[in-house]
Amino acid sequence: MSFDGLGHHDWLRGVKGSERQAIDGFKLLQQRKFRATASMCLHKLNRDSLRPTANFLAKLGVAVLMVSTPQELGIWKRYSQEYALTFDEAWEIYREYIPQWYADGSPLDIHLEGFFTCRRENPRNYEISFMQKISAGADWSKIAACGSIQHSIFIGPEGRVVPCMGFSDTVIADKFPAIFEQTLPEALEDKFYRGVLEIKMADYLKSQPQCAECPHLNSCGGGCLLDGITDAGDLLVPEERVCHFYKNIGAAVVKEIADASIAKYLN
């Protein structure tokens, strides 16, 4: 379930009392021994609530907290200039929280966008999701442009069957099959749906030949298809966030912070 910051959930959802309802929902899941996952959208108003939110949700039995900044789609576009965090601002929040997560005893599994992912059961074994680790000399014609959409499906708020929830609020949303008009197996064989799943890195590199010369290609893989989508619906566009990460931050900085936190709090 979505939970957008302790004391801040109502604002982003636009419904008074929605935070209390979400908390009650987590309590019910905890009582009935269901494994719960929470998603938190980070913005300027709730930027200081990450640590208390994580610890609060952990006490409610939430197993995983996924944190990200909202995509600039739909209604959020109206508010993004005033409330959206820049990529560097979001990184500073994550940079501060990684040591806090270890200091608090790794209260739950944590996903901080592509910067840092770690399970509480094995806090020494963290991952940097921005790093895809594609082997040198890879056959780009056999590598999917997005690996995650090969293993999941979503039904958007208007009943569109999409490979990732983010597709449900883009300019190409109406091209996806509708669950009200056909069965789920039929929808999964839809030509447009299958076409998105079958986009390969070779297709991406044909569209973006400059990326073939980039030294970070085997780590970034072009980034997220959705985060680069244009107003015309072109998916074969580099994700600016990933480019910025490799050119201005780098995995070494994340590793340094995580390793120092492990040495301080786990050894």
For the residues 213-222, what does the mean pLDDT come to?
90
CA pseudo-torsion sign 101, 164, 240, 49: negative
Looking at residue 124, its pLDDT comes to: 97
Q: Strand, helix or coil at 25?
A: helix
Tokens of 245: 């990460």
Q: Are strands 62-68 and 109-112 parallel, antiparallel or unpaired?
A: parallel
> Would the pLDDT of 88 be above 90?
yes
C-beta of residue 34 within 8 angstroms of C-beta of residue 71:
no
Q: Which residues contact 103 (CB under 8 A, 6 or more apart)?
A: 261, 265
Q: Residue 70 — pLDDT band, cuts 50, 70, 90?
A: confident
Token pair belonging to 241: 């966030």
pTM of the model: 0.86
How many CB atoms neighbour CB 58 within 10 A? 20
Which residue from 119, 69, 71 is spatially nearest to 94, judged by alpha carbons? 69
Strands 109-112 and 116-118: antiparallel
What single string gives the DSSP state of each residue in 79-143? HHHHHPPPHHHHHHHHHHHHHHHHHTT--SEEEETTTEEE-TT-TT--B-TT---PPTT--GGGS
The reported pLDDT for the residue numbered 203 is 95
Q: Tell me the per-residue pLDDT of 94-153, one tens digit each, with 9 for 90 and over.
A: 999 999 999 999 999 999 999 999 999 999 999 998 888 788 888 999 999 988 888 888
Mean pLDDT of the 239-258 span: 93
What mean pLDDT is predicted for residues 65-93?
A: 88
What sign does the dihedral 259-261-264-267 (CA atoms) show?
negative
Instruction: Write down the pLDDT at residue 239.
Output: 87
Between the ranges 66-75, 199-208, 225-234, where is the mean pLDDT highest? 199-208
How far CA 76 is from CA of 26, 43, 84, in Å, comes to: 26, 11, 9
**Within its chain, how far is the Cα of 251 from the centroid?**
17
* pLDDT tier for residue 67 given thresholds of 50, 70 and 90: very high
If pLDDT is split at 50, 70 and 90, which confidence band does 248 have?
A: very high
Question: What is the rounded distance in angstroms from the CA atom of residue 111 to the CA atom of residue 109?
Answer: 7
- Predicted pLDDT at 232: 86
Q: Which of 6-20, 130-144, 157-171 tops mean pLDDT?
A: 6-20
